Structure 1
Amino acid sequence: MTTPAENPVAATTPVANDSTETPQKLPAHERKRLAREAKAAAAAAKKAEREAKMAAQKAAKAAKVSDEDLDPTQYRNNRLAELDAIRASGREAYPHKWPVDSTVAEAIKKYSDVEAGQHTGDVVCLAGRAMSKRESGKHMVFYDLWEDGHKIQVMSVAQDWAGDIDFATAHKEIHRGDIIGVKGVVGKSKRGELSIFPSEIRLLSTCMHMLPKAQFGLKDQEVRFRQRYLDLIMNPHVRETFQRRSQIIGYIRSYLGDRGFMEVETPMMNMIPGGASAKPFITHHNELDLDLYMRIAPELYLKMLVVGGLDRVFEIGKNFRNEGIDLTHNPEFTSCEFYMAYADYNDLMDMTEEMISGMVKSIFGSYKVTFHPEGPEGPASEIDFAPPWKRVSMVEEIERQSSVSLNRDFGSEEARQQLDDLATKFDVECPAPRTSARLLDKLCGFFIEDKIVNPTFITEHPQI
Structure 2
Amino acid sequence: MGGPVDETTKEVSDLTMESEGTMSKNARKKELKNKQKEEERRRKEEKAKQAAATASSQVKKNIATEDEEMDPTQYFENRLKHLATQKADNKNPYPHKFFVSMTLLEYVEKYDGLNNGEHQEEINVSLAGRIMSKRSSGSKLFFYDLHGGGEKVQVMADLSKSELDESEFSKFHSSVKRGDIVGVTGFPGKTKRGELSIFPRSFIVLSHCLHMMPRHKAGPASDNANAKKTDGWVPGSPRDPETYILKDQETRYRQRYLDLMLNTEVRQIFKTRSKIIQYVRRFLDKRDFVEVETPMMNMIAGGAAARPFVTYHNELDMKLFMRIAPELYLKQLIVGDLSRTGVYEIGKQFRNEGIDLTHNPEFTGCEFYMAYADYNDLMTLTEEMLSEMVKELTGGYKIKYHSNGLDKDPIEIDFTPPFRRIDMVDELNKIADLNINPADLSSDEANKYLKEACKKFDIKCSPPETTTRLLDKLVGHFLEETCVNPTFIINHPEIMSPLAKWHRSKKGLTERFELFINKHELANAYTELNDPVVQRQRFADQLKDRQSGDNEAMPLDETFCRALEYGLPPTGGWGLGIDRLCMLLTDSQNIKEVLLFPAMKPHAEPSAKGANSDVGRPFWHNFKNLLVSREFCCCLMTSFIMLCFLCIYEINR
Scaled by the length of structure 1, the TM-score of the pair is 0.80
Query: In the alignment, which residue of structure 2 is the partner of 1:187?
Result: 189
1:119 aligns with 2:149: no
Whether contact under 8 Å (2:425, 2:436) holds in the other structure is no
Q: Which residue among 408, 419, 435 is the counterpart of 2:437? A: 408
What are the within-5 Å matches in structure 2 for residues 386-405 of structure 1?
A: 386-402=416-432, 404-405=433-434
**Measured at CA, do residues 63 and 83 of structure 1 come closer, stay the same or move farther in structure 2, by a change above 3 Å?**
farther
Residue 159 (structure 2) pairs with residue 158 (structure 1): yes
1:290 CA displacement = 2.3
- Residues 400 and 117 of structure 1: CA distance in aligned 2, closer, same or farther (over 3 Å): farther
Aligned residues: 402
* Partner in structure 2 of residue 106 of structure 1: 106
Post-superposition offset of 1:112: 2.4
Take 1:141 and 1:286, find their aligned partners in 2: how far apart are those partners? 60
Q: Which residue of 1 aligns with 2:468?
A: 437
Superposition map of 1:27-426 within 5 A: 66-121=66-121, 122-163=123-164, 166-215=168-217, 217-310=245-338, 311=340, 312-373=342-403, 379-402=409-432, 404-409=433-438, 411=441, 416=447, 419-426=450-457
Aligned-pair distance for 1:152? 1.7
CA distance in 1, matches of 2:285, 2:119: 48
Amino acid at match of 2:332: M
Q: Which stretch shifts more, 87-96 or 385-394?
A: 87-96
| Equivalent residue, structure 2, for 1:453 | 484
Deviation of 1:125 (Å): 1.1
Q: How far off its partner does 1:425 sit?
A: 4.3
Give the match for residue 458 of structure 2. 427
Tell me, in whole angstroms, the C-alpha distance in 2 between the residues paired with 1:163 and 1:427. 78
> CA separation of 1:182/1:256 partners in 2, compared to 1, >3 Å: closer, same or farther?
same
Aligned-pair distance for 1:375? 6.4
Kindly provide the CA deviation profile for residues 345-392 of structure 1, in whole angstroms up to 9, marking residues without a partner as x: 111111111112222222223222233346667643332222221122
Distance 1:244 1:300 in 2: 30
1:438-460 Cα offsets, whole Å, 9 max, x none, are 23322222222223222111112
- Does the CA contact (< 8 Å) of 1:170 and 1:202 recur in 2? no
For residues 229 and 64 of structure 1, do their structure 2 counterparts lie closer, same or farther at Cα, with a shift above 3 Å needed?
A: closer
Choose 1 or 2 for highest CA Rg. 2
Which deviates further from its counterpart, 78-87 or 157-166?
157-166
Provide the alpha-carbon RMSD of the alignment: 2.4
* Matches of 2:330 and 2:364, distance apart in 1: 16
CA distance in 2, matches of 1:379, 1:258: 39
Conserved 8 A contact 1:313-1:339 = yes
Q: 8 Å contact 1:280–1:294 — kept in the other structure?
A: yes
Aligned counterparts of 2:423 and 2:113: Cα–Cα separation in 1? 57
Is this contact kept in 2: 1:173–1:203, CA < 8 A? Answer: no
In the alignment, residue 237 of structure 1 is paired with which amino acid?
E
Q: 1:134 to 1:373 in 2, by over 3 A?
A: farther
Matching residue of 2:226: none
> In the TM superposition, what are the counterparts of 1:11-30 in structure 2 within 5 Å?
none
Query: Counterpart amino acid of 2:300?
Result: I
Letter in 1 for 2:213: L
Deviation at 1:401, TM superposition (A): 3.8
CA shift at 1:418, angstroms?
A: 5.2
**Alpha-carbon distance, 1:405 to partner:** 4.9
Letter in 1 for 2:109: K
1:218-246 per-position Cα deviation (integer Å, ceiling 9, x unaligned): 22211211111111112121111221121
Give per-residue Cα distances to partners, 1:19-51, cap 9 Å, x unaligned: xxxxxxxxxxxxxxxxxxxxxxxxxxxxxxxxx
**Aligned partner of 2:260: which letter?**
L
How far the C-alpha of 1:393 sits from its partner, in A, is 1.5
Contact 1:406 1:415 in 2 (8 A): no
Give the distance between the partners of 1:367 and 1:153, measured in 2 at CA. Answer: 38
**What displacement does 1:299 show?**
0.7
1:180 match: secondary structure: strand
Q: 1:176 to 1:259 in 2, by over 3 A?
A: same
* Greater Cα offset, 165-174 or 316-325: 165-174
**What secondary structure, in the 3-state scheme, does the structure 2 residue paired with 1:66 have?**
helix
Alignment check: 8 A CA contact 2:309 2:350 kept: yes
Distance 1:240 1:377 in 2: 22
More displaced stretch, 349-358 vs 84-93: 84-93
Alpha-carbon deviation of 1:166? 2.6
Q: Kindly indicate whether structure 1 or structure 2 has the higher relative contact order, using CA contacts under 8 Å at least 6 residues apart.
A: 2
Cα distance between partner residues in 1 of 2:64 and 2:468: 70
What is the SS of the residue equivalent to 1:166?
Answer: helix
Q: Give, in angstroms, the shift of residue 109 of structure 1.
A: 1.9
The residue type equivalent to 1:147 in the other structure is G
SS at match of 2:264: coil
Distance in 2 (alpha carbons) for counterparts of 1:113 and 1:419: 71
Q: TM-score, normalised by structure 2?
A: 0.58
Task: List runs of 5+ in structure 1 lacking aligned partners.
Answer: 1-61
Moved more, 368-377 or 125-134: 368-377
Distance 1:336 1:66, change over 3 A: same
Query: Does the 8 Å CA contact 1:99/1:125 hold for their aligned counterparts?
Result: yes
- Greater mean alpha carbon deviation, residues 113-122 or residues 406-415: 406-415
Change (3 A) 1:257 1:186: same
Displacement after TM superposition at 1:421 (Å) = 4.6
Q: 1:145, 1:154 within 8 Å by CA — same for their partners in 2?
A: yes
Give the Cα separation in 2 of the matches to 1:377 and 1:151: 31
CA contact (8 A) 2:429 2:436 kept: no
Distance 1:354 1:220, change over 3 A: same
| Distance (Å, rounded) in 2 between the aligned partners of 1:290 and 1:260 | 38
Q: Which structure carries more helix by proportion?
A: 2
- Deviation string 1:120-143 (CA, Å, 9 cap, x unpaired) is 444321111101111122222111
Following superposition, the deviation at residue 304 of structure 1 comes to 0.8
